[in-house]
Chain A
Amino acid sequence: MGAPPHTDRLSDGFFGSFGGRFVSETLMPALEELTSAYERSKSDTEFQAELADLLDHYVGRPTPIYRARRLGEEVDLDVWLKREDLCHTGAHKVNNTIGQVLLAKRLGKSRVIAETGAGQHGVASATACALMGLPCEVYMGAEDVARQAPNVQRMKLLGAQVHAVQSGSRTLKDAMNEALRDWVTNVRTTHYCVGSVAGPHPYPTLVRDFQSVIGREARAQMLTETGQLPAAVVACVGGGSNAMGIFHAFVPDETVRLFGVEAAGDGIDTEQHAAPLTAGTVGVLHGARSYVIQNDDGQIQEAHSISAGLDYPGVGPEHAWLHESGRVAYNAVTDEQALSALHQLCRTEGILAALETSHALAYLPAIRQALGPGQPVLVSLSGRGDKDLQTVLARIGDD
């Protein structure tokens, strides 16, 4: 399978036919302003130096890759984990929020808002805002507030205001709706710190670029440690920021198979899933054309996943494009499979991964089927699972 022609098309924000800017007119000037500020920042040596310094000394980059030998024996692969769970705040999300809040300061914005599902992006936004002295307000679905309580407390400790969103399915989709309503009201003073490679242009490109440090580091580390590129790279996909972050550097490497793993919830043949690429259709949600879970009348359906961070009926437009071009193979694993992978990593390696991340781990047996035994496989270990203890313990009846 060959790499698709590589293109950013940053001028109009499309990846093939996906992406774009489907937003109310009020927001268009802010998106244009953000796009040009972002473009300028790429060649601004002062900005880049400040970002690099914070990534090194504050976030703790580079994160290591770790050879998971005991897990590897169980799944019959040579498994390498890219340890984004070791980032400050416990997940990859902070790579993006540091970059965006730096940009917000350059734009002269006096306030930052964010949406969050699992709370990891909310915590990472609150953290970056505390660091840079900006007020932060986080929109979070009421259901997620309940199931990710530790992260809610963390956001509050960090000085952020958390709004529990009661509308719709009371999860990530509705949190993003409410954040957009805030932004359209306060757009002149406020930066909207989008947490995934979703939303209107420039967010899918901008967030991918801030997260692409994951794949750049991991690619070089694999070459140093093993003398070769991995046979495959695997990551979980909700909106898809850790996946785009680790895939981006490998997209041109035709020998490297890329696997994105969505949340199948109770199963993709049920209505209780969060797998738009595996079981959805093309639509427009939250400012971009991509795959969504919708009914025949174009109403967005509620997603379902045990993992709050994957519980979203849409997906970033670049993933839609990589799916359509065949460069990345997208599949889905169920809640049960993810839970079982979470336990397996704890037991074999002493690492508690997030429920989101556990979806990528749960796909390793399928990769073994596809690639054969012993192949080197790089897993994006996107976040740690302390926040999920309550959910996990409740599921095993050991509460």
Chain B
Amino acid sequence: MGRVAEAFAQAREEHRAALVIYLCAGDPDLAATEALLLAIDAAGADVIELGVPFSDPTADGGTIQRASERALASGTTLRGVLEAVGRVRAKISAPIVLFGYYNPILKYGEERLVQDAQAAGIDGFLVVDLPPEECPPLREPAVRAGLDYVPLVAPTSRDERISLAGKTATSFIYYVSFTGVTGSKALDTAAAAQRASEIRDAIEKPVALGFGIQTPEQVREAAAHADGVVVGSAIVRRIEDAGSVEAATASVSSLVSELASATRNAST
């Protein structure tokens, strides 16, 4: 069992949802990312989704778009992200999943990325615009190297696509809680979490609920049904609003602690 699956299994054993925290690498620069990775891990994240910035993030709302722009403006590259992870990996216990868009991966080369990611201590990949039909060039080398591939399921997905995602998944599935971009506010958390648990029952793999979950209250609601809860834009906003790396680290750290305790106190 890989570290990602272990993290979900452990949360399940503790009768709580796994807390998945998204961070955009290089926002505002990679030195800050290293500090934030350590803080997020220490504050109780079970899994870290590390976003690789892309020039055209079509699945993201304004908050993560701006984070990507800041990251690219500071010269962040995929290679640089892997090097940053390599520098801090030994001090972090949470598994790290690279989260991003396909083009930078295609340009880097899938096989080479898998090798370099494994060397850096990356645990898996989640690629927003790489549906199961197109994922073998990345998924196959990843699986051979013992790394995870995390597919997405959406509210528009019908049974056959859910089952396709179930077959593609190696550890968990990311359920996109509503039709929209990241960071939107239109979420009916309870209904989305209910749907996540139906999907889990259908595919028999853990399902994490993401998109639009921002507050400890929403985490409590989601954690009642979902195996995992993903928080992204709310973290990125803390970084955006902070005046310094120290302030960002402190602010993110306290939010992650609150979210982590919310996973232990699911509302039923």
Residues of A participating in the B interface, judged by any CB pair closer than 8 Å: 12, 20-30, 167-168, 173-174, 177, 180-181, 184-188, 281-287, 292, 294, 296-301
- Asked if B104 and A26 sit within 8 Å, CB to CB, the answer is no
Residues of chain B in range 154-210 having any CB-CB distance to chain A below 8 Å: 154-158, 161, 165, 176, 179-181, 184
Known pairs A23-B131, A297-B79; list 6 more (Cβ under 8 Å). Answer: A24-B58, A24-B176, A26-B155, A181-B181, A292-B103, A298-B106
- Asked if A186 and B179 sit within 8 Å, CB to CB, the answer is yes
B133 sits at the interface (CB 8 A): yes
- Contact A28 to B157, CB < 8 A, known contacts A168-B56, A184-B180, A185-B179: yes
Chain B CB count within 10 A is highest, among A21, A180, A184, for A184
Selected contact of A29 from candidates B65, B157, B184, CB within 8 Å? B157
Closest 6 CB pairs of A and B: A298-B107, A298-B104, A26-B154, A299-B55, A185-B180, A25-B152
Q: CA–CA, A103 to B131, complex, Å?
A: 25
B125 sits at the interface (CB 8 A): no
- Asked if A285 and B103 sit within 8 Å, CB to CB, the answer is yes
Residues of chain B in range 43-58 having any CB-CB distance to chain A below 8 Å: 54-58
- Asked if A298 and B161 sit within 8 Å, CB to CB, the answer is no
Q: Give the residues in chain B near A173, CB-CB below 8 Å.
A: 56
Q: How far is the CB of B139 from chain A (nearest CB, A)?
A: 14
Q: CA–CA, A332 to B232, complex, Å?
A: 43
Q: CA–CA, A287 to B78, complex, Å?
A: 21
Q: How far is the CB of B232 from chain A (nearest CB, A)?
A: 15
- Asked if B104 and A297 sit within 8 Å, CB to CB, the answer is yes
Interface size on B, residues (CB 8 A): 40
Main secondary structure of the interface of B (DSSP, over half): loop
- Contact A187 to B179, CB < 8 A, known contacts A25-B154, A26-B156, A298-B107: yes
- Asked if B103 and A283 sit within 8 Å, CB to CB, the answer is yes
Q: CA–CA, A12 to B153, complex, Å?
A: 20
Closest residue of chain B to A296 (Cβ to Cβ) is B107
Selected contact of A24 from candidates B54, B59, B79, CB within 8 Å? B59
B72 sits at the interface (CB 8 A): yes
- Asked if A30 and B156 sit within 8 Å, CB to CB, the answer is yes
Q: How far is the CB of B223 from chain A (nearest CB, A)?
A: 23
- Contact A24 to B161, CB < 8 A, known contacts A184-B181, A283-B103, A284-B102: no
- Asked if A25 and B161 sit within 8 Å, CB to CB, the answer is yes
Chain B CB count within 10 A is highest, among A27, A181, A287, for A181
Q: Give the residues in chain B near A180, CB-CB below 8 Å.
A: 58
- Asked if A297 and B77 sit within 8 Å, CB to CB, the answer is yes
Closest residue of chain A to B129 (Cβ to Cβ) is A22
Q: CA–CA, A357 to B260, complex, Å?
A: 59
Selected contact of B134 from candidates A20, A167, A188, A298, CB within 8 Å? A20
- Asked if A299 and B180 sit within 8 Å, CB to CB, the answer is no
B120 sits at the interface (CB 8 A): no
- Contact A285 to B56, CB < 8 A, known contacts A21-B131, A294-B103: yes
Q: How far is the CB of A182 from chain B (nearest CB, A)?
A: 9
B130 sits at the interface (CB 8 A): yes
Q: Give the residues in chain B near A296, CB-CB below 8 Å.
A: 107
Q: Give the residues in chain B near A301, CB-CB below 8 Å.
A: 55
- Asked if B181 and A25 sit within 8 Å, CB to CB, the answer is no
Q: Give the residues in chain A near B58, CB-CB below 8 Å.
A: 24, 177, 180-181, 184, 286
Q: How far is the CB of A213 from chain B (nearest CB, A)?
A: 31
- Asked if B176 and A298 sit within 8 Å, CB to CB, the answer is no
Selected contact of B107 from candidates A22, A168, A287, A297, CB within 8 Å? A297
Q: How far is the CB of A386 from chain B (nearest CB, A)?
A: 31
- Asked if B156 and A299 sit within 8 Å, CB to CB, the answer is no
Q: Give the residues in chain B near A184, CB-CB below 8 Å.
A: 58-59, 179-181
- Asked if B104 and A24 sit within 8 Å, CB to CB, the answer is no
Q: CA–CA, A282 to B102, complex, Å?
A: 12
- Asked if A300 and B55 sit within 8 Å, CB to CB, the answer is yes
Q: Give the residues in chain A near B179, CB-CB below 8 Å.
A: 26, 184-188
B124 sits at the interface (CB 8 A): no
- Asked if A24 and B55 sit within 8 Å, CB to CB, the answer is no
- Asked if A298 and B131 sit within 8 Å, CB to CB, the answer is no
Q: How far is the CB of B92 from chain A (nearest CB, A)?
A: 24
Closest residue of chain B to A173 (Cβ to Cβ) is B56
Q: Give the residues in chain A near B181, CB-CB below 8 Å.
A: 181, 184-185
Q: CA–CA, A283 to B55, complex, Å?
A: 13
Q: Give the residues in chain B near A21, CB-CB below 8 Å.
A: 131, 133-134
Q: Give the residues in chain A near B57, CB-CB below 8 Å.
A: 177
Q: CA–CA, A212 to B181, complex, Å?
A: 35
* A and B contact pairs by CB, cutoff 8 A, 12 listed: A24-B152, A25-B154, A168-B55, A174-B56, A181-B181, A185-B181, A188-B156, A282-B106, A285-B56, A297-B78, A300-B56, A301-B55
